Structures are given as C-alpha cells and as structure tokens.
Chain A
Amino acid sequence: MKSIYLIVGLLVAAPAFAQRTDTSRDARTGGVREGAVQRAQTAEDPKQNSELKKLGQATKTSTHQLKKELHAAQTARPDLTFDDFVSVKKLAFDEGLKVQDIVNTMKSTKPTDLKQAVESLKKTP
C-alpha cells in the first residue's frame, strides 16, 4: 500500500519537476529549434532563389515546382546547367510543353539542339 501512495505521489508531483521547456521540446522534430533547417535550405543560395523567383513570375510557376523540375531535369541530364534550365523552362512555357519532355528529347544542351527538340515535340501528335 505504501508503494502505491509513493507512486501516486510521484505521478502527481511529476509536472512540478518537469523542465520548463520540456513539453515544448517533445514536439520538436529531430529536437531542433523550429525552422532552422528550413531557413538553412532557403539561405543556401540567395542569388539562385532570386533568379528562380523571377523565372517563376515569368512562367507562372511556384519556386517549389521549379526546384522539382530542375532536380528532375538534372537527374535525367547531369550536364544541364542552371542557365540551360532557365532557357528550357521559358521555351517550355511559351510552347506549352513539359520541361522533362524537352530535356529527354535534347541531343545536347546546345541552344540549337534545344530548338530542334522543341520543334520535334511540336510535330509529335
């Protein structure tokens, strides 16, 4: 009986002993302060973010979607630079084509091959 009283007493007293930030910390993913990892990812390349924002406004696409398209394009074609991607995206938007279709059709990242890829895709029904 004595041990039950002791257990109940300790359980009731436990919150009083809890560390002041204890229960907030429980909700932190990875135990890390909120937003730090997210901010680090955003701040990694501010210049590129600014260029993506401009491209997004020109092509009515979110930065997140552009990053996804860039990642997919560079996975399919590792030699594709960021500037190549900007050209491909602008052309894809103007012609109503998908970036990935153009990237897959391009023989190389040369501007002439980019135009040829777009022409051949436009002819494809």
Chain B
Amino acid sequence: MRQLLLGFFLVAVLVGGGLAQDAGDYTVNLGMNFSDQARKQPTFLNKETVPSKVEYWLRSDLSLRVQSTLLISRESLPKMRNTGRGDAILGATYTLFDYDNDHPFGFSLDYQIKFPTAIKGLGSDQTDHQVTGTLYRTFSKGRLYTEFDGGAYIAGQQGRSDISTAQFSLVEIVGLGKAPAKGKAYKWKLLNETDYSPAAAGSPTSIVQINQIIRVFSPVWSIRFGPNYAITPYDSRFGFAAGIQYKGHFGK
C-alpha cells in the first residue's frame, strides 16, 4: 500500500499539470441516497444515507476532498432500524493532463482512504483504500461526455489480509436540448453510469447501473437526481439518489 501511495504522489509531482480548475476552487455537495434490499442477500435491507463532500483545489491539477456519510439509517431486520453516523473518506485527485486542444483525452488519478468512523453495525469497521485511473473526453462538440474508470478497491478485513478487487466504470453524460451558445452550458444533462466489479475472494460479481438527471442553474448551483439499480443479485435491487452542489472560489 505504501508503494502505491508513494507512486501516486511521485506521478503527481513529476508530470506536468492540467488546466481543469483554478487553485482555490471548491465544491460543497450534499445528497440523499436510498437503496432497497438485495434480491439474494437477506442481511442487506433498506438503507437511507445522507452523504456530504467538500473538495478543494490546492492547485489547478490537484484536489483534496473529505467525504462523510453524515447519517445512515439502515433496516437491520424487518421493522428494526439502526441509525447513526457513517464512514468518512479522505481523497485526492490529480489531473495529469486535461482534455483540451493539446490532448485528445484527459487522464486523472484518484486515491481515497476510508476511515471506519461509522457506529457499530453501519460500516465495515475497517480501513479501505481505493485507487482509480480515469480516462475522459467529450464528443459531438461537447454534447456527449464519456469516461472510463479502472482501479482497485482494497477492503480491510478483521484478522485477515486485505481483499483487493478490480473496479471498472463507464460514465456517459449527454447534454439535453438545443446546443448552448458559446459561453453557456447545457442546462439539462442525462448521466448513465455502469459500475462493474468482478468476483474475487468470495465476493460475488457486482454490476450496478446509475441514471441521473442533472440540472445546471448557474456556474455555482446544480442539482441531480435519479434511480439506480443492480443487475447482479447481491446488490441493492433498486435505489434513488439526489444531490445538490455549490461551487465557489476562495480569493478573487
């Protein structure tokens, strides 16, 4: 794990920066997720969570974020509910190069560590790590955005060695309606995300589909909402998520 972290920061220091954001930019996100029970997992019942995230750009190509599940309410048995604080995540994203006039696609690296801050029964009680590489670009004059994510999730296990599983995602975001004039953004967008994790170390294969409608009100405010559903039987069969984002900048 130490080598992985060292490699991540070495790459961050050695490779030239992108133009994704300005140093001092930040975002604040708040959401609400609901997930239904799994088809073939009797212990996985209904769950509601209130996720939050604060992300800050230290440089135009490097951001740090803190994510926290402010509240989880989980049905542990029918008609029995466990409610409380969830886990917290610290993460960093480094954009090696952005999709622009000089690069046919953008590439970023992301590392995150999950701390077991959840109250008993609402988390895994273990520290997890995740490393992800993301390749992205737009097509059709900015109307279609696509990204491919590949990485590993390293889940801590009590009294046993960590379990590492591969993770892949394909994300497409389509701008809806008439193409905006130069200087304006699409007001409505449709997001489709497919997450795939192959079976490993006793964990079954997981394929989850997420759909979201995104409404961009201004460069500052946006909201998103939509359903998600599992194709594989051991994940939540249906869910709904909504979120609001505020974008700001420290300084002029």
Contacts and interface: CB of A to CB of B under 8 A. Distances in A.
Q: Is the interface of A mostly helix, strand, loop or mixed?
A: helix
Contacts of A68: 218-220
B36 interface: no
B191 A18 contact: no
Nearest to A46: B100
B12 interface: no
B252 interface: yes
Contacts of B76: 7, 10-11, 14
13 contacts: A11-B120, A21-B155, A23-B128, A27-B68, A29-B245, A33-B132, A38-B27, A39-B134, A39-B145, A40-B191, A46-B100, A70-B183, A82-B183
A50 B101 contact: yes
Given A10-B76, A20-B163, A62-B249, A44 B142 contact: yes
Contact of A39 (B106, B153, B175, B195): B106
Interface string A66-99: 0110110010000001110100000000000000
B237 interface: no
A122 to B, nearest CB: 22
Given A31-B33, A62-B252, A17 B41 contact: yes
B35 to A, nearest CB: 8
Interface string B41-72: 10110010101110100000000010111001
Nearest to A44: B142
A6 B118 CA distance: 22
B247 interface: yes
Given A32-B241, A40-B189, 13 more contacts: A7-B76, A14-B121, A19-B206, A21-B167, A28-B51, A29-B52, A30-B242, A36-B171, A37-B222, A43-B98, A44-B145, A45-B182, A64-B22
B51 A33 contact: no
Nearest to B26: A64
A35 interface: yes
B19 interface: yes
A86 to B, nearest CB: 9
Contacts of A19: 44, 203, 206, 234-235
A74 B212 contact: no
A105 interface: no
A33 B206 CA distance: 15
B251 interface: yes
Contact of B124 (A15, A38, A39, A44): A15
A43 B183 contact: no
A47 B99 CA distance: 10
Nearest to A64: B249
A31 B239 CA distance: 9
B123 to A, nearest CB: 5
A43 B138 contact: yes
